[in-house]
Amino acid sequence: MESKLKTIRGGEFLIKTSAPDSIFTPEEYTEEHIMLREAIRDFINKEIEPLKETFDSKEGIAVTPKILEKLGQLGFLAISAPESIGGMGCDIKTDLAASEIMSESFSFSQTLGVQRGLGVNTILFYGSKAQKEKYLDDILVGKLKCSYCLTEPGAGSDANSGKTKAVLSEDGKHYILNGQKMWITNAGFADIFSVFCKIEDDENLSCLIVEKEWGVKLGVEENKLGIHGSSTRQVFFEDVKVPVENLLGERNKGFKIAMNALNMGRLMIGIAGSAIGKRAFRLGVQYANQRIQFKKPISSFGAIQEKIAKMATKIYAIESGWNRLAGDMDNLYDEFISEGTPPLKAKQQVAQEFAAECSMIKVFGSEIEQFVVDEALQMHGGMGFSGESEISIHYRNIRGNRIYEGTNEINRLVIPGTIMKYALKGKLPLMESAMQAFQDLQSGNLKPADSTKSFDEFAVEFLDNCKKSAILVSGQAMQKFQQAIQEEQEVLSRLADIITQVYILEGVLLRTSKCKGQNQKIREAICTTFMHDVADSIKVATKEVIFATAEGDMAVISLKAINKLIQLPMHNIIAERRTIATHFIQENEYKI
Q: How far apart are CA 371 and CA 415, in angstroms?
A: 22
Q: How far apart are CA 325 and CA 313, in angstroms?
A: 19
Q: How far apart are CA 227 and CA 143, in angstroms?
A: 23
- Pick from 116, 393, 382: nearest CA to 264: 116
Contacts (Cβ under 8 Å, ≥6 apart) of 148: 114, 118, 119, 122, 184, 185, 186, 193, 194, 261
Q: How far from the centroid of its chain's Cα atoms is residue 418's Cα?
A: 16
The total number of residues shown for the chain amounts to: 592
- Choosing from 152, 390, 405, 576, the catalytic residue is 405
Q: How far apart are CA 471 and CA 448, in angstroms?
A: 16
Residue 545: CB atoms within 10 Å: 28
Is 405 a residue of the active site?
Answer: yes
What is the distance between the terminal CA atoms of the chain, rounded to a whole angstrom? Answer: 31
CB 408 within 8 A of CB 363: yes
Q: How far apart are CA 361 and CA 349, in angstroms?
A: 18
Q: How far apart are CA 153 and CA 175, in angstroms?
A: 22
Run of H or E including 165: strand 165-168
Q: Cβ-count burial of 554 within 10 angstroms (0-12 exposed, 13-18 middle, 19+ buried)?
A: middle
CB 280 within 8 A of CB 376: yes
Residue 412: CB atoms within 10 Å: 23
Using CA atoms of 206, 210, 215, 219 in order, give the dihedral in degrees to the nearest 10: 80
- Pick from 463, 397, 513, 404: nearest CA to 114: 404
Q: How far apart are CA 351 and CA 359, in angstroms?
A: 11
Q: How far apart are CA 238 and CA 217, in angstroms?
A: 8
Residue 489: CB atoms within 10 Å: 13
Q: How far apart are CA 447 and CA 537, in angstroms?
A: 19
CB 415 within 8 A of CB 359: yes
Using CA atoms of 395, 396, 398, 400 in order, give the dihedral in degrees to the nearest 10: 150
Angle at 71 between CA 66 and CA 73, to 5 degrees: 95
What distances in angstroms separate CA 45 from CA 48, 104, 105, 530, one per listed residue? 6, 10, 9, 33
Give the active site residues.
405
